[in-house]
Amino acid sequence: MLLKRLFAGILAVVISLSVYADQFINLHSPDGNMLLGINSRDNGDLIYRVFYKGKTVIAPSGLGFKLNVPAVSLLKFTLASADSSITDETWKPVWGEQSSIRNSYRQLLLKLNDKSGSGITINVVFRVFNDGVGFRYEFPKQDKLNHFVIGDELTQFGMNGDHKAFWIPGDYDTNEYGYYTSNLSKVDASGGGFAQEIHAKTFFDKNAVQTPLMMKSNEGLYINIHEAALVNYPAMNLVLDKSNFTFNAHLVPDAEGNKAYLQTPAVTPWRTIVVSDKATEILASKLILNLNEPSKIADPSWIKPQKMVGVWWEMHVGKSSWDYSGGQVGSQQATKVPHGANTANVKRYIDFAAKQGIEGILVEGWNTGWEDWFGQWKEDVFDFVTPYPDFDVNELSAYAKSKGVKIIMHHETSASTTNYERWMDTAYRFMKKYGYDAVKTGYVGRIIPRGEHHDGQWMIRHYERVAKKTADYHIMVDMHEPVRPTGMHRTYPNFLACEAARGNEFNAWSVGNMPDHETILPFTRLMGGPMDYTPGIFKIKMNYYNPEKKEQVHTTLTKQLALYVTMYSPLQMAADLPENYEAKMDAFQFIKDVAVDWDDTKVLDAEPGDYIIIARKAKGKDSWFMGAITDEMARNFVTSLNFLDAGKKYVAMIYRDADNASWNDNPEAYVIEKFIVDSKTKLKLKLASGGGTAVSLILATAEEARQLKKYK
Ligand code: NOJ
Ligand code: CA
């Protein structure tokens, strides 16, 4: 009966809002494909459901809260009012995958009175987009509710079957797990799988997974669940009830076991459900960004998307150390190696960056504290302003300035957030004094204040404070080990990127990232924002550094190049050592050329866990860059270049796997080819096992158009 009534609603052309008392309200997306239905269970609990082109996306699912203070459950309501509105606007991000973004949705605002007699009123706001649904709760200012404590959020996401899912274990402290691919009935997060090398993890339920969660239904629907605008609230994990494939929201608790401390008026983050029958449209969705607040930075002219090199990978591969005394931390080796961040070595990177036109040089291990940072739960490790004796900050900042490049600051906090908060102003003033305008922060370890978690409300507030305070100082920021992002870079565009997932570094000193890893990340972690993945590793096998090492990067060399396009970020590292690039300058040319800010993006083909092909147009230029990657399967594609300007000729530089390349046997074998192409060209892509192709498409001069071979 209920279903029938809901489908009757699908036929309605105008927004139809019936009364809640009369059991249902529904709302369509602007294009009519998405349908939200609001209803109540027989017991009176409020429920919602979502359909896409008539197929169930969200089966009847609960909404509500259990408050600890005041002690009340908010599940059953009477409807005070239901209002709808339409928004269709276009806005311009400071940087991004495209230069303008359309925000078009229909909104439903439900004002609800708690039926249990508490006198509390809450609102639920739904926005129905062509590519999904977002909703959040609002607690308006009211006599019966001022300060309150959330015990549990009772939001559910009911799946309509045993979908295929790309998931990592639920956790309060880390998102650096390797991905699992299984049907929902087979989700078993116990043990955490690829988790051995993660320092601080707080795994809590074998049926728990993290968002962004990517799924595919038997009916061919791609469904992604995440959240947007996570501010002053804990992150949400999802606990699966396998009896009915329903996910229950599970918020990260604080040291007391409470979830969130709020005061009216207050709002929760948006719960997001991105849906399509095309995988490419999931990657193209801007729903999460659209649900974040506009930029709070009035003059963003100082914010610069950029590439960087770093005194960094050499520590991860065990060639040098962060610690002045040579003790190895990150790579877990007992043997002593030279200190990496010494003045002469940093100058070497500055020279390389200046020569190759790379804007930034990250330097880790420059400051005191590394001798004492790892694995302790110590409060005062770093002060962020005292260099080791062999790092001459005066000389290096003058040298970098003379070469026209910028040193990027590093603040490893060792997860002692209390200590970092005490030092932030002093540390940012120090940066300004020496001409640094970007900082990479890090939170390796268990959080201090003790008992708090990386993803709890206390830390969420901290990450926002860092974004805000760095903005006040005109500093760009890249956070490692923070909560998974939820689109905050729209509000604070100085927040260029973060890690918040298993980065390339795991390939240096652990079982690493499997060949499908980078075909999953854009469908999961990157839904919330750019990732500092640190691509560009040319020396694939770690036995190059030490014959005993078995670790390796699980890709070919040209797949590392393609990642600069498929893994969107306005901050991209050329992560390998200068000498490894100098040995292969023909391949490094792609890293030099590739843009980091874009006018337009075309997701040409994609399947989570299998392959991704993306083309992007460089901001303000007539150049395009393409990346195609595959998992462990070798694949062939034919890709039309019909996105190019008709009638114009482009020089295509194709960086591809050699015919005998593969990620495990022959990962560094590549071929570079140069042709004239145009919008009618059909490019044949041949990707090796674990491989990829990178292509630059740059407007041809008349001379080139005459001389170069036309692609056939
Ligand atoms: C973990 C970060 O992800 C990595 O990039 C950094 O080098 C180490 N922590 C040390 O801060
Ligand atoms: Ca990390």
Mean pLDDT for all residues in the chain: 95
User: Which among 90, 215, 94, 180 is positioned nearest to 530, based on CA atoms?
Assistant: 94
How far, in Å, from the CA of 493 to the mean position of ligand 2?
A: 22
Which listed ligand is nearest to 501 at the C-alpha? Answer: 2
Rg (alpha carbons) of the chain, rounded to whole number: 26
**Residue 525 C-alpha to ligand 2 middle, in angstroms?**
14
**How far separated are the first and last CA of the chain, in Å rounded?**
59
pLDDT class for 195, splitting at 50, 70, 90?
low
CB 216 within 8 A of CB 449: no
Which amino acid type is present at position 233?
Y
The residue to mutate among 322, 412, 531, 537, having the most atoms of ligand 1 within 8 angstroms of its beta carbon, is: 412
Query: So what's the pLDDT on residue 357?
Result: 98
348 three-class SS: helix
Distance 21 CA to ligand 1 centre (A): 55
How many C-beta neighbours within 10 Å does residue 300 have?
Answer: 16
Structure tokens at 469: 């305070």
Q: Which atom of ligand 1 is nearest to the CA of 503?
A: 3
φ, ψ of residue 495 to 5 degrees: the values are: -80, 80
Residue 593: which H helix or E strand, with range?
Answer: helix 585-593
152-163 pLDDT, tens digit per residue, is: 999 999 999 999
Contact 367, 321 (CB under 8 A): no
Residue 528 contacts residue 226 (beta carbons within 8 Å): yes
pLDDT in tens, 358-410: 999 999 999 999 988 888 899 999 999 999 999 999 999 999 999 999 999 99
- Give the three-class secondary structure for 44: coil
Atom of ligand 1 nearest to the CA of 322: 10
229 — alpha (psi -120 to 50), left (phi > 0) or beta? left
State which amino acid sits at residue 511. V
How far apart, in whole angstroms, are the C-alpha atoms of residue 341 and residue 427?
A: 18
Q: Whose CA is nearest to atom 11 of ligand 1?
A: 412
Are residues 287 and 274 in contact, defined by beta-carbon separation less than 8 angstroms? Answer: yes
Q: What is the pTM of this model?
A: 0.96
Q: Are 232 and 457 in contact (CB under 8 A)?
A: yes
Peptide bond into 70 cis (omega under 30): yes
355-384 burial: b if 16+ Cβ within 10 Å, else e: ebebbbbbbbbbbbbbbebbeeeeeebbeb
Q: Which position among 505, 518, 607, 668 bears the catalytic label?
A: 505
Q: Check pLDDT > 70 for residue 647.
A: yes
Q: Which of 411, 440, 443, 444 to mutate to test the pocket of ligand 1 (most atoms within 8 A of CB)?
A: 444
HEC-encoded secondary structure of 510-567:
CCCCCCCHHHHHHHCHHHHCCECCCCCCCCCEHHHCCCCCCCECCCCHHHHHHHHHHC
What is d(CA 511, CA 21) in angstroms, rounded to the nearest whole number? 56
Q: How far is residue 180's CA from residue 666's CA, in Å, rounded to a whole number?
A: 26
The pLDDT value recorded for residue 329 is 62
Of 280, 703, 270, 333, the closest CA to residue 542 belongs to: 333
pLDDT digits (tens, 9 = 90+) for 684-703: 999 999 999 999 999 999 99
| One-letter identity of residue 333 | Q
If we measure between CA atoms, which residue out of 670, 56, 585, 50 comes closest to residue 357? 585
Run of H or E residues at 613: strand 611-618
| Nearest C-alpha neighbor of 593 from the set 700, 694, 675, 708 | 694
What pLDDT is stored for residue 334 in this prediction?
A: 67
Q: Is 91 helix (H, G, I), strand (E, B) or coil?
A: strand
Which residues approach ligand 1 with their CB closer than 6 A?
Answer: 312, 330, 364, 412, 442, 444, 480, 499, 503, 505
Measured distance CA(223)–CA(105) in Å, rounded: 18
User: How many angstroms does the Cα of residue 614 sit away from the middle of ligand 2?
Assistant: 26
Q: Which of 343, 330, 464 is nearest to 393 (CA)?
A: 343
Provide the residue type at 325 as one letter: S
Q: Which residues of 46-66 are buried (b: 16+ CB within 10 A; e: fewer)?
A: bbbbbbbeeebbbbbbbbbbe
Is there a contact between 626 and 615 (Cβ–Cβ < 8 Å)?
yes
Locate the ligand 1 atom nearest the alpha carbon of residue 534 and give its number.
Answer: 5
**Can you tell me which residue has the tokens 């640190």?**
534
Using CA positions, which residue lies closest to atom 3 of ligand 1? 480
Q: Give the chain's domains with CATH numbers.
A: 6-290 (2.70.98.10), 535-542+555-712 (3.20.20.70)
pLDDT of 342 strictly over 50: yes
Separation between Cα atoms, residue 107 and residue 15, nearest integer Å: 10
415 Cα–ligand 2 center, Å: 12
pLDDT digits (tens, 9 = 90+) for 577-603: 999 999 999 999 999 999 999 999 999
How many whole angstroms separate alpha carbon 431 and alpha carbon 385?
Answer: 9
pLDDT at residue 95 tops 80: yes
The ligand placed nearest to the CA atom of residue 177 is 2
The ligand 1 atom nearest the CA atom of 364: 7
Annotation marks residue 505 as catalytic? yes
Q: pLDDT per residue over 492-546, tens digit each?
A: 999 999 999 999 999 999 999 999 999 999 999 999 999 999 999 999 999 999 9
